[in-house]
Structure 1
């Protein structure tokens, strides 16, 4: 199924020729997927009907807080508390090509992973130059909370969170509440 997932990656990351952002190649995606699949707790949700329509995958964030070591600035206290209580799930990737007949597909696959892992918060990192992905994530309810600066790299990442309010007992200080959270729908 790796090649089908790579096809889905290419479809979901299509950009206009004028977009200056250079996306990782199909081969780089497959290499990253191979590494991610070996991480403890790796999980993937696949949506398909007559073919592969979308997927999301990732793994639980460790409660030791090491995931946040390169976070630039003060981490919101409630994000830190959810991390320590092992209620955070990292979305390594969300592959959803535009589906005019199913605009809620992204929400459903994300909620399914959060529900399956009993997580209250999803987290992800996006290259700050990747404007199309940032726009898509914002439209799906993700909120930016700051930046990650990797000491060895030159890329600055935007840190985004997806609160899953049905499982979150405390609202995240300083973040916008997302209306209509709702429970999971089957993906």
Structure 2
């Protein structure tokens, strides 16, 4: 999970564009009730690729103020915050071209009807011959190889959520990260979620475990301490 410090650069965009009003054709979440779960008032919906393009700067700003959940790309990440930010942009630009790409956003609606982006998660099916198939080589346990050969794996590549989502009520079904990852898998009956997390990124690793992910059963410290990333599975 890439944690961004207050010193991380933020995109410069006109502030009025950061709020979107909901049209009468769109679903509106119920107003937050006193004592209701925090995420109950946030509406989760998919974006088309064109909508992702139109809102790239908002996604950039979301990344700048949140933590990114697996994978962190060692080839892209440099010593400065700007490098981490650029890594997200390059990673998203690469992943959005993959067949079956899906991106969900969570939005909170204020009293005036303005809608603010609060979280995001995206992923794609893992197809044989693709780069993610090659990235998983050597990580998959035997029980997932048949699933993989049948194109039954779905990679959840990034989850961007506020710190409260990573540290509070992680096991609750209404936890926003759990809602996002469950929704991504819901359209792929029987699919197994997979992700790779940097071995040194313990913040991401602990958060993902709290959200229901499990490490590969074949991984042991003796055999895996020399590889750079961990495979986590979500069923």
Q: Same fold (TM over 0.5)?
A: yes
Q: CA RMSD in A?
A: 2.9
Task: Report the alpha carbon displacement of residue 126 of structure 1 after superposing the two structures with TM.
Answer: 1.0
Residue equivalent to 1:134: 205
Task: Report the alpha carbon displacement of residue 3 of structure 1 after superposing the two structures with TM.
Answer: 1.7
CA 70–61 in structure 1, closer or farther in 2 if over 3 Å, else same: closer
* d(CA) in 2 for partners of 1:83, 1:64: 11
1:32 aligns with 2:99: no
Residue equivalent to 1:45: 104
Task: Report the alpha carbon displacement of residue 119 of structure 1 after superposing the two structures with TM.
Answer: 4.5
Alignment equivalent of 1:111, drawn from 164, 182, 197? 182
1:160 aligns with 2:226: no
1:8 aligns with 2:72: no
Deviations 1:133-173 (A, max 9, x none): 111111101111149xxxxxx9711111111xxxxxxxxxx
Residue equivalent to 2:6: none
Q: Unaligned stretches of 5+ in structure 2?
A: 1-54, 69-77, 110-115, 221-225
Task: Report the alpha carbon displacement of residue 68 of structure 1 after superposing the two structures with TM.
Answer: 5.2
Q: Conserved in 1, the CA contact under 8 Å of 2:105 and 2:117?
A: yes
Residue equivalent to 1:97: 162
Task: Report the alpha carbon displacement of residue 128 of structure 1 after superposing the two structures with TM.
Answer: 0.5
Task: Report the alpha carbon displacement of residue 71 of structure 1 after superposing the two structures with TM.
Answer: 3.7
Q: Conserved in 1, the CA contact under 8 Å of 2:194 and 2:233?
A: yes
* d(CA) in 1 for partners of 2:85, 2:227: 20
* d(CA) in 1 for partners of 2:134, 2:198: 16
Q: Conserved in 2, the CA contact under 8 Å of 1:91 and 1:124?
A: yes
CA 155–84 in structure 1, closer or farther in 2 if over 3 Å, else same: closer
* d(CA) in 1 for partners of 2:136, 2:147: 18
Residue equivalent to 1:87: 152
Residue equivalent to 1:18: none
* d(CA) in 2 for partners of 1:55, 1:119: 23
**Higher-Rg member (1/2):** 2
Task: Report the alpha carbon displacement of residue 62 of structure 1 after superposing the two structures with TM.
Answer: 1.2
1:76 aligns with 2:141: yes
* d(CA) in 2 for partners of 1:155, 1:7: 32
SS of corresponding position for 1:28: helix
